[in-house]
A and B are shown apart, each in its own frame.
Chain A
Amino acid sequence: MTEFDIRDNIDAFLAANKYEVDEEHAHIELVDEPSDDEFDKLIRVCPGALYKRDETGKRTFDYAGCLECGTCRIACGETIVQRWENPQPSMGVEYRYG
């Protein structure tokens, strides 16, 4: 596991975005027991900071704030990102500026 240099929380910026969250259906799914090394890659590359590890080492991933860039699919599509789909019709992020 990497000791990350994280000093900012960007949740407030994501909150400025417009989303229609699909509560029923996760459009990205990880394998059951993702390896720490692979998970660390996603912590580094996800621009939405959706892959997290807390002080106790517990890992979380929340697809609700997804920016739909596909970076996790490219980084770990063959390892721990088991499924990457577009959100259901009219769901997901809606860029007003872009």
Chain B
Amino acid sequence: MAALRRLRGSNNEGVLALVLLGLIVAMSIANPTFFTLNTGFSILRSAIVPVIFALGVLIVVITGGIDVSFAAIAIFAGYATVSFCLNAGFDPGLPGIFAIAIGVGASLGFVNGIVIAQFSLPTLIVTLGTQGVFFGAMYTYVGASYYAELPGSMAALATSNLLDVTTSSGRAYLHLLVVPVLLLCLLVAWVLKRTMFGRSLYAMGGDLEAARRAGFQVKRTQVSVYMLVGALAAIAGVIHIVLSRSANPRDLVGGELDIIAAVVLGGASIFGGRGSVVGTVLGVLLVQVIKNSLLLVGVPSAWLRTAVGVLLVLGVGIQAIAARRDSRRMRVIEDLDSAQQHEQKVGS
């Protein structure tokens, strides 16, 4: 029983993994072309940017907040960096590019954090506001043109593959950037589990006032969280530009909801205090696999948005109903416990 519970995971990661596995098996039976290295690698590739975004969203959601400005931050940071490098005519190399972008992203995140922490405002509405500000500011002050050429280092990265396998159904490529994303996942998981900062995020999400009373630096942590989201978004922004081999200011913004949906499907509670990196990654993969399968089955791509919406309703709806039933069952069990205690006391 305990082992079963462990497998299920504290946020239903096990269930999610099972659903994902079931889906893959079902798809492979329905359409053998699905079960190929090619498909697998392309799903992984398509998951790179969403996973990084999702890590950022996970961190905020754990603290009980939400951030919808991350896509705007990502494209702002990525696009501004590329635009700066191209206009200045120099290529600072990948570390330099990432450093600039992360700096920009973290500063924008700082704006979110300071407004939210200092005035304790609702996070959704603040980040909705800053989303408009960041996006508008990029167009107004950074530029609106499309860059088809990237700085040399980025262009080189775009074509770097980790694996290059020839299979019966053609060549399959696994992009090099899968590696840093994996490392990033491990890093975030480590921070959440093994640092006081990580624990303070869960504590704040559990009960903000209690966290304050326990001596956590609540405001400072909140600001750091939004800066961290900004930094992660910036990394995702640069990677997105690398993978699409062009810098388009119209990209990314509008796709926030898919990411939030994936994080919530991954078991993170929108009320805070719950969520794991494993669940989040599974959530993103589930959304990507479903998108991919729909295409393979021949469902027009126009249905994708609806599919994600339905997935979200099902995922969250089942959680909501289960939570309600759980709380009802718990009361009865507690009642039985206390009834037994009464009996013992009366007996003794």
A binds B: no
